[in-house]
Amino acid sequence: TVSTSWTSAGSMWGVQVVNNSIYACDRDNSIVWNNGTAVASNQWSNNAGFPLKLPQGFAVDTSIAVGTVYVTNSDRHTVVKWPAGAVSGTTVAGVDGNSGNTSTLLRFPSSLKLDNYTNMFVVDNNNHRIQLFCQYPSVNTTGRTIAGTGSMGQTNTTLTYPAGLALDASRNLYVADTSNHRVQKFRYLL
């Protein structure tokens, strides 16, 4: 056990270590913690209308804006960006409170990963797909489906309620295809 001092923390749904700081996503309290201090939350009064509700996954930028936290705001169908030291977040994917299956909407995003350019790979759980939202050279709120088809299935190209993902050094994508009880690999193609 590396930390038990986070007395107000609830159910932890992910952890990331960045520069000896431990970040963890607290689904019960809608908070992302950094060493026991809230760094993304719906608790602040100046939250610009983007409250966190049932966050399930997050990623911390380690390459460009180090310490910036991106949170899958699952019950609001968005991804929210919290710059280091900020008291409010900004929606960078999805439309707050609106679910759907278009290129600009998400339905219960559950986790995400960032590449070295902070492009976001988002698990769009209830749409059975992985969406890529490019952040470089500028922020693009229109996603592109890079895995899955948007319909559940058991083929090599379909997913059923994916939950997690990882990128390897060659930028291949690995997806936890939860309801199909498998891990799918999608090769990076130039």
Instruction: Tell me the domain boundaries of the chain.
Output: 12-187
The whole-angstrom distance between residue 147's C-alpha and the CA centroid of its chain comes to 16
- 2.120.10.30, 1.10.3720.10, 3.40.50.10320, 1.10.287.1770: CATH of 12-187: 2.120.10.30
Cβ atoms within 10 A of the Cβ of 130, count?
25
Per-residue pLDDT band at 177 (split at 50, 70, 90) = very high
Q: Is 110:96 a contact under the CB 8 Å cutoff?
A: no
Please report the pLDDT score of residue 44 as a whole number: 47
d(CA 31, CA 85): 14
Amino acid sitting at position 95: V
Q: Is 124:130 a contact under the CB 8 Å cutoff?
A: yes
d(CA 37, CA 39): 6
Lowest mean pLDDT segment, chosen from 116-120, 128-132, 157-161: 116-120
pTM here?
Answer: 0.91
